[in-house]
Every structure is written in C-alpha cells, then in structure tokens.
Amino acid sequence: MGHPQESVGGLPRPKTGEPSGRVRRPFPSADVGTGDRWVFGFPGRARAEVHTRGARLHSLVVPDRWGRLADVVLSPREAGALQGEARYFGATVGRYANRIAHGRLTVDGVTHRLDTQDTGHSLHGGPDGFDQRSWRCEPFHSANRTGVRLFLHSPDGDQGFPGAVSIRVSYTLDREDNLTLSYRAEAEAPTVVNLSNHAFWNLEGEDRGNILAHHLQIDAPLFTPVDAELIPEGPHRPVSDTPFDLRRPRRLSDVLTHTDAQLITAGGGFDHNWVLYPARRSQLRRAAVLHAPVSGRRLEVRTTEPGMQVYTGNGFSGDVIGKGGRPYRAYAGIALETQHFPDSPNRASDPTTLLRPGEVYRSTTVLSFTTD
C-alpha cells in the first residue's frame, strides 16, 4: 500500500508532514470515490485497511507459514468497479443482508414494498444499500487491540424498510491475528435487521489465481436449496450425500465439479446458505475453516449467527481488475457471509430478524488467521 512498515502506537507511521500521535488520522484514498480509509494493525502482525464507503474491508495482510505477507482480500483497482461487479467486495451489507423475495416484507400485519434490483427481489438492502453509504468512522487503540468503529443512521422508509435504525460496526485486530467484526443496531419502530460482511477471500493472495485448491470445512448439518432466481425453495435440506456436506474438509475443486442440480442452478458453484449447528445467540461457535495448502494460511470463522452464506465467485467474469493488476475470473475468491437466513421474514420457521424499539441487535463474527 506504499506505507512504511514501521509503526507508531501499533499503526503505520505517518509520512513526513503528516500529524503524528497515537492514532493516525484518516487520509484520502488514492482512488477517487472510495472515501476516507483507515489502516491499522500491529508491527509484524496482520494489518487491515477499512474504507468508510460501505464500511468496507479493503485489505487484510497476513503472513504465510514462512512469515511472508500477502493481502488475502479481493478489492478492485478502480473505484468505479464498486458500482458494478465488485459492488459488494468487502462491504457491510444491509439493512437486510441476502435476499427478500419480491421485495415484500410484512411487519406486525403491515406489508411494506421494498426497493428491488433488476431481478425483482431485494438483495443486500436494495439498490442503495449500506454498501453505497458513507459511514462516520472513529479509531481506537490499546496495548493489545486496535481498530475502527463506523456509524450509520438509516431513516424510516430507507429502501422501503420501516423504522429508523442506528447502526455501529466495529473492526478489531488483536496481536494474535484475530479480526473481530461486531455489529450493533437499535430501531425507532419495528423493522428487520440482518447485517453481514461481504469480503471475498483468497488465502494464497488476492492476485494468486483462484481458490479451487483451497479446502473448506463447514460445521452445518443443513443447507438452504434455492430456485433459479436464488430465492429459498422449500425447507432446509440435510447435507448428507450432497456436495454441501463439508462437515469434514474438502478440496473445492473436488466439490464444485459435481453435477448436483443446486450447483448448476447457482451458476456452477455455491451461492447458498448453510444452517449452522444451533447455539444461544450470544455464544460464539465455529462455523467454518478455510485452508490454503500452498501458503499454509488457515482462516477459522466463529460467529453468533445461525447461518452462513457461501459464494464461490461463480459469476466473476474477469472484468474487474484487482489491486495486484490481475483480473478476477470465476472462483477468484470465496465469500463466507455470517448472517440470518435469506428471505427469513417470509419464512415463519426461520429464526426471526425482527427488531423492536428498546431491543438491541447484536452480532459478532471472529476471523482467526493462523498457519499450518
């Protein structure tokens, strides 16, 4: 990123002429339109870059088994791509992550018509979701933790959703290379809230081809089948005897070449929700492990959420050029989106996403990076 590795108080040392101090001030992004950005981390450990546009994880640099650093988060080189195929890369998505069928939402017997994309469905909060907003940001730093908090106010009627909502998202790095994503929201009227992060990962490095050699394990007994428009279809199904059975690690190339109809429906890979083993909402439990055999990098995902949407980048066309200068083609990265289930406001059997005044929405996901 062009910044010295030497640090002040755990953050990159300012360039000559920039203000010094314990926490670095924001500086303009080199790519016009991405908004302010913040860089934080500890010397010799993981280093993150977060952009205020979309409360977006733009970069995460972590070591491999030999201590060599690489950026493992896909992001476009050009800011304009954030309006197209790369729109959700690294972003905080909401007010409702994933899909709401036909943009129809009923709260307390009142039906609301949400703004929809060209598909006729609401995806990740609508055409002008949280990924397109400029979030207010403040940094924090202590001896063992450093990061940023981002704030957004979503007014009543935003993209058709009822009730104003105030949201806070925190990115926190510790000295053990754990990146914690914490979400908090409060509503002024009954509404639904379902927040997630949409980072795409390639643990060999964002410019190192595809993730087909990665091994993936998901601790889930059920998955959610979808129809041709990727809307949930019927009840959740057991993963047994399907390519969705990842309760033991499996190489993605071995799984995605299966002729299963659900893989074909999603464009030749995963774009599905896994139903994680149940736990109390306030408890963290392991959801997934992703491993890159060449670099030895390992990502363990723990979450308080009941589900995880996995998208293997099946639709990447190569039109987006990444930070390293290489195009992102199919399977260039994998998204592991911890969240509530798609279209759950219209599925009575699914865990509720309803948030009422006086209640607090809380969600935590911890991404732990190690090597083998």
Q: What is the pTM of this model?
A: 0.90
Positions annotated as catalytic residues are 198, 337
Look at residue 79 in the predicted model and tell me its pLDDT: 85
Residues 266-290, mean pLDDT to the nearest whole number: 90
Q: Quick: pLDDT tens for 200-224.
A: 999 999 999 999 999 999 999 999 9
> In a 3-state reduction of DSSP, which class is residue 167?
strand
Angle at 18 between CA 23 and CA 72, to 5 degrees: 60
pLDDT given for residue 6 in this prediction: 29
pLDDT per residue over 317-364, tens digit each? 999 999 999 999 999 999 999 999 999 999 999 999 999 999 999 999
Residue 61 in this model has a pLDDT that exceeds 90? yes
pLDDT at 143 over 80: yes
Q: How confident is the model at residue 44 (pLDDT cuts 50, 70, 90)?
A: confident
Residue 349, C-beta contacts closer than 8 angstroms, at least 6 positions apart: 235
Question: 3-state SS of 84-130?
Answer: CCCCCCCCEECCECCEEHHHEEEECCEEEECCCCCCCCEECCCCCCH
Question: Residue 184: pLDDT above 60?
Answer: yes
Confidence at 280, pLDDT banded by 50, 70, 90: low
Average pLDDT over residues 17-21: 29
Q: Are the C-beta atoms of 99 and 342 separated by less than 8 Å?
A: yes
| Mean pLDDT computed over 141-145 | 95
Mean pLDDT of 248-268: 96
